[in-house]
Amino acid sequence: MAAERDTAGFETDRYPDTPHPREQLRLFGHGEAEKAFLTAVQSNKLHHAWLISGIEGIGKATFAYRIARFMVHDSPRALSRATSLDVAAGTGAAAQLAAGAHPNVRVLKRGLKERIPPKPGGNPEVDYSADIRVPDVRNVVASLFGHASEGGRYRVCIVDVADDLNQSSANALLKTLEEPPAHSLFLVLSHAPQLLLPTIRSRCRHMALSPLPDDAVRAVIPTLGAKWRTVDPARLDDAVAAGGGSVRRVLNVLSGNNLALIQTIGAILSGLPGTDDSAVLQLAETLTKKGADIQVSLFVDCVQRWAQKMIHDVVSAAPGAAGADYAGGLAQLAEVVSGIDADINRARAYNLMDLRPMILKLVGELADAVRRVRSRA
């Protein structure tokens, strides 16, 4: 069975009620990135590893599967004559990839740790590892490169996402990146490439994808299924405005009454270093409720975007020597924010579902960082 499909039939990288990225034949808003990759193929100077970065939900995985579909559907010689990355839906490569069963494509991602039997009348629950482990790397490398390439075509490994690698698994992947097999292509996806091992970054050609423009986001939403084609236009406008160029964020906003949650989070963050203890506690209670995965993701997104804007605004207003006065506070802010995703994933992996202490601690640390920035310490 192909590595991109979990043994229990569940997938970590599919948004509920939407097609999996490997099933999407169209890519919106990244024409220049496609052109750059195709130019490399046409010139016969294709680098063996590409780091595709950008915020979550802008199409990195869809782009990677689009590249993979293109690379495995024909011989390397024929690929160099192609004028686009398009592959027709009816081709064997497209069908196999959509089914997660193409022999020349594997996906390296967090593995399934255990399957929890369903309660009567309910659905099975699954538990995933907190990170990508060394056996995950070895299994994918062995299954992809342990046999002859079908038809002498490229073999593609998609790392989704490299942010989930731990120190040991990152080094295990690095060994293959340093000595890549013939006709191999690694597509390394990352939301935060600055946190990856410098040696992994140095082995890759970096392609940074920008947040999608609003019109591209609006074009994507109806392609994701009937549920999303019937969204009230005014509600969609509000969601797109809050989405910051990320389709995933827009879907999160559209799921339930999450626009009000975003406004609450925004009010707490904009009030820092002052804190409304009751509002923070109520937020922590909301994020700890069962089934609050989307709300937690929105919280992480809001904090990261708020911090990025603050850092950008401070640096823009005080460049050069004047900006150096803020360096300590900004570094502290960046350090606090960079670990949020990993901390929450780790807490979930160890079944620490009560996130209240973590949320309260985080808001306190953010307040300290803002206080330090404003004091120029």
Q: What is the per-residue pLDDT for 358?
A: 87
Q: Is residue 351 part of a domain?
A: yes
Cis peptide bond upstream of 198, omega within 30: no
Q: Which residues of 171-184 are buried (b: 16+ CB within 10 A; e: fewer)?
A: ebbbebbeebeebb
Q: What share of the chain is helix, strand, coil (3-state, %, to 5)?
A: 55, 10, 35
Closest C-alpha to 188, from 282, 36, 63: 63
Distance CA 270, CA 72 (A): 49
Q: What is the per-residue pLDDT for 349?
A: 60
Gyration radius of the chain over CA positions:
22
Q: Please compute, for residue 174, the number of CA atoms within 13 A of its CA located in the half-sphere on the CB side.
A: 14
Q: What is the per-residue pLDDT for 1?
A: 30
Do 296 and 190 reside in the same domain of the chain?
no
> Could you give the 3-state DSSP secondary structure of residue 361?
helix
- Report how many domains make up the chain: 2
pTM: 0.82
Do 207 and 52 contact (CB within 8 A), yes or no? yes
Distance CA 145, CA 158 (A): 13
Q: Is residue 307 part of a domain?
A: yes
Do 177 and 280 reside in the same domain of the chain?
no
Among 208, 236, 266, where does a domain finish?
Answer: 208
Q: What is the per-residue pLDDT for 4?
A: 40
Could you report the per-residue pLDDT of 296-326, keeping only the tens digit for each? 889 988 998 898 888 888 888 876 545 566 6
List CB contacts of 136: < 8 A, sequence separation 6 or more.
108, 109, 110, 111, 129, 169
Q: Whats the size of the chain, residue-wise?
A: 377
Q: What is the per-residue pLDDT for 331?
A: 84
Q: What is the per-residue pLDDT for 7?
A: 38
Do 200 and 263 reside in the same domain of the chain?
no
**Amino acid at the residue 143:** S
Angle at 341 between CA 1 and CA 218, to 5 degrees: 75
Among 173, 208, 243, where does a domain finish?
Answer: 208
| CA-CA-CA-CA torsion sign (350, 302, 359, 335) | positive
pLDDT beneath 70: ranges in the chain: 1-10, 12, 113-127, 319-326, 345-346, 348-353, 376-377
Q: What is the per-residue pLDDT for 126?
A: 58
Q: What is the per-residue pLDDT for 120?
A: 59
Angle at 310 between CA 304 and CA 312, to 5 degrees: 100
Closest C-alpha to 169, from 133, 138, 144: 133
Q: What is the per-residue pLDDT for 149?
A: 80
Could you report the per-residue pLDDT of 343-363, keeping only the tens digit for each? 776 676 665 567 888 899 999
Among 177, 193, 208, where does a domain finish?
Answer: 208
CATH number reported for the structural domain that contains residue 54 in this entry: 3.40.50.300
Do 178 and 42 reside in the same domain of the chain?
yes
Do 190 and 314 reside in the same domain of the chain?
no
Do 203 and 260 reside in the same domain of the chain?
no
Q: Is residue 236 part of a domain?
A: no
Q: Is residue 342 part of a domain?
A: yes
Do 36 and 112 reside in the same domain of the chain?
yes
Query: CA 326 → CA 169, 220, 313, 331, 365, distances in Å?
Result: 35, 40, 12, 9, 17
- Give me the helices (H) in 221-375, please: 226-229, 233-243, 247-254, 258-270, 277-288, 293-317, 320-324, 327-338, 340-349, 356-375
Distance CA 112, CA 128 (A): 5
Domain that holds residue 176: 21-208
Q: Is residue 143 part of a domain?
A: yes
Do 158 and 273 reside in the same domain of the chain?
no
Do 31 and 116 reside in the same domain of the chain?
yes
Q: Is residue 305 part of a domain?
A: yes
Do 99 and 182 reside in the same domain of the chain?
yes
Q: Is residue 99 part of a domain?
A: yes
Q: Is residue 10 part of a domain?
A: no
Do 190 and 285 reside in the same domain of the chain?
no
Do 33 and 127 reside in the same domain of the chain?
yes
Instruction: Extract the tokens encoding 27.
Output: 């890519």
